[in-house]
Amino acid sequence: MKLVVIFLFLVLNQLNAYWLGTCIKANCEDALKLCNGCYGEHGCKSCVSSLNLECIECVNDIYNKNDLDIIGSAAYMICDSQDSLQVNACHLFCRGQYIKTGNCIDNQNIPICQCNNNQQTTIGTKLATLSSSSTTTTTKTKTSPYILNLDFKSKLNVSFQHGNYPILSLPNGDLLRSSDMNIQIWDTEKGVIKRNLTSSIIHPWLLGLLSNGDLVATYGGLLMNQILVWDMNETSKEPVKRILETHFPMGCLTVLKNDDLAFGPFFNRGNEEDTLDIMIMDSKNGLIKQRLVGHSKIVRQLIELSNNRLVSCSDDKTVKVWNLLNGTLIHNLQHPERVESVALLKNGQLACGLYNGHIHIWNIDDGTYVRTIFISKYPTERLKVLNNGYLLGGSSFGYLKIWNPDDGTLKSSFDTNQLILRMEFLSNGKLVTSSNDDFIVWS
């Protein structure tokens, strides 16, 4: 009889559990599982959508409090412990509220998702928590480096509780990192926060540096509705120089040599102001100077080349080379999979990291294909060029591999056994990788 009650309860509730239907339809289980270390609703949503854009609706529905069931004084998600998708969704739901984990359990014949911060104590999710506008989190650091094998000799591991956010290295060796509420400036030698850039506007996201050292930061998360320009040298008075208004969702930013801002579109919600065009904005007044029209899906990365050229890679399986002087398309490089990342090699060729783990090398001058390097069966989401010309490839699945792009030979390989969602070089040459809940400084 008990099993019948549970079954009927699941059937009736899953008819209204929009997250279950949308998550199954978009095949989001892998993305939910990979983001099991995220913290905060915004961070968890960003993590899932960065791995699979089609899962935006799924992860939004997971956090829709209207789909929760009120049991006593608490609101619960209904979940089946025998369904791995629902188990992963439950865990993500709890992590979104800064709770350590979530488990699908049977509570008085009702299958619920229960959040808990340790193995002994479980807590329900109060409705007040779901509508809270801010959450206080703690930051812990591990500042003692330890020795590793392979080519990665040592590392500094710094833990935090804010989810997947962009990072940016500063000329002085410090590291910028967005968080839910502010922008953190980290001392990468000691593993401590030196300063927080805090404003009344929340959810800083994309970061870039102007030629004079000012910081450009977009706010509002992926929806991006405001841009703040910070004076990084101002510590006593108001450090915000100006605020630029915008209303288009953008997923990547590069600061051009003339200090214009190039934004790559993240998605189109169907609103009139949304676009899949690349936008070139004047960083002084926020005016749109140019629109580069041609991509049909989100743009993952933008890099500026010499001779007024811009390269963009996209989920539409193309890499496009643009003329920034007149906005015309120079080359349209077709690929078999969506293109996650691009990097300009020392020899002037272009490396393109694909979702299927391959890297395609192109002659950027005439648009001809050169060769393919097989990195892994996992997506190659990050590419960096080393000083010796070798190519470093990284994936959210945790690998770091160094290749000779001239002949495709593997020079070094290392499995970090954790997510790699961001990758950046510091001014001292050390590599920083960032996951949902820590960043690591490698040397």
* Alpha carbons 86 and 24: distance in angstroms, whole number: 10
Among the listed residues 334, 434, 412, the one whose alpha carbon sits nearest the alpha carbon of residue 43: 434
pLDDT for residue 234: 86
Residue 321: both structure tokens together:
């080379």
Query: Structural domain tally of the chain?
Result: 1
pLDDT for residue 339: 95
10-31 pLDDT tens trace: 444 443 456 888 898 888 988 8
Tell me the pLDDT band of 118, cut-offs 50, 70 and 90: low
Overall average pLDDT of the 217-225 stretch: 74
Overall average pLDDT of the 124-143 stretch: 28
pLDDT for residue 295: 93
Cβ atoms of 349 and 322 closer than 8 Å: no
* Alpha carbons 243 and 143: distance in angstroms, whole number: 36
Rg of the chain in Å (alpha carbons): 22
Tell me the pLDDT band of 142, cut-offs 50, 70 and 90: very low
Tell me what percent of the residues of the chain surpass a pLDDT of 90: 35
314-366 pLDDT tens trace: 999 999 999 999 999 999 999 999 999 999 999 999 999 998 889 999 999 99
Res. 194: pLDDT tops 60: yes
Res. 236: pLDDT tops 50: yes
Cβ atoms of 350 and 311 closer than 8 Å: yes
User: Which residues, at least 6 apart from 28, have a Cβ–Cβ distance to it below 8 Å?
Assistant: 22, 48, 52, 54, 55, 58, 59, 85
Highest mean pLDDT range out of 45-49, 69-73, 90-94, 310-314? 310-314
Is residue 82 domain-resident?
yes
- Of the candidate ranges 132-136, 373-377, 399-403, the one whose mean pLDDT is the lowest: 132-136
Cβ burial of 36 (10 Å; 0-12, 13-18, 19+) is: middle
* Alpha carbons 295 and 306: distance in angstroms, whole number: 22
Is residue 391 domain-resident?
no
pLDDT for residue 221: 65
Residue 289: both structure tokens together:
């100077």
pLDDT for residue 254: 97
What's the domain range around 105?
Answer: 2-130
Is residue 275 domain-resident?
no
Res. 172: pLDDT tops 70: yes
Q: Which amino acid is at 180?
A: D
Is residue 190 domain-resident?
no
Residue 395: both structure tokens together:
């994936």
pLDDT for residue 19: 83
Overall average pLDDT of the 27-39 stretch: 78
Is residue 227 domain-resident?
no
389-437 pLDDT tens trace: 999 988 888 888 889 999 889 888 888 877 788 889 888 888 888 887 7
Among the listed residues 216, 221, 104, 208, the one whose alpha carbon sits nearest the alpha carbon of residue 162: 221
Among the listed residues 356, 278, 288, the one whose alpha carbon sits nearest the alpha carbon of residue 317: 356
Q: Could you tell me how far CA 221 lies from the centroid of its own chain?
A: 11
Tell me what percent of the residues of the chain surpass a pLDDT of 70: 80
Res. 313: pLDDT tops 80: yes
Question: E strand or H helix at 422, and its extent?
Answer: strand 422-425
Q: Is 94 helix (H, G, I), strand (E, B) or coil?
A: helix
pLDDT for residue 4: 42
Overall average pLDDT of the 230-235 stretch: 89
Is residue 333 domain-resident?
no
Is residue 45 domain-resident?
yes
Residue 179: both structure tokens together:
């968080």
Among the listed residues 335, 334, 362, the one whose alpha carbon sits nearest the alpha carbon of residue 348: 362
For the chain, what is the mean pLDDT?
A: 80
Stated pTM of the model? 0.65
Distance (Å) of CA 291 to CA 137, 184, 301, 322 = 40, 32, 16, 11
pLDDT for residue 164: 67
Cβ atoms of 319 and 352 closer than 8 Å: yes
* Alpha carbons 337 and 343: distance in angstroms, whole number: 17
* Alpha carbons 323 and 9: distance in angstroms, whole number: 59
**Angle at which helices 41-51 and 84-95 cross, to 10°:** 140
Tell me the pLDDT band of 34, cut-offs 50, 70 and 90: confident
Is residue 112 domain-resident?
yes
Tell me the pLDDT band of 50, cut-offs 50, 70 and 90: low
Res. 39: pLDDT tops 70: no
pLDDT for residue 133: 26
Distance (Å) of CA 224 to CA 51, 203, 248, 252 = 19, 9, 6, 11
Among the listed residues 276, 257, 278, the one whose alpha carbon sits nearest the alpha carbon of residue 267: 276
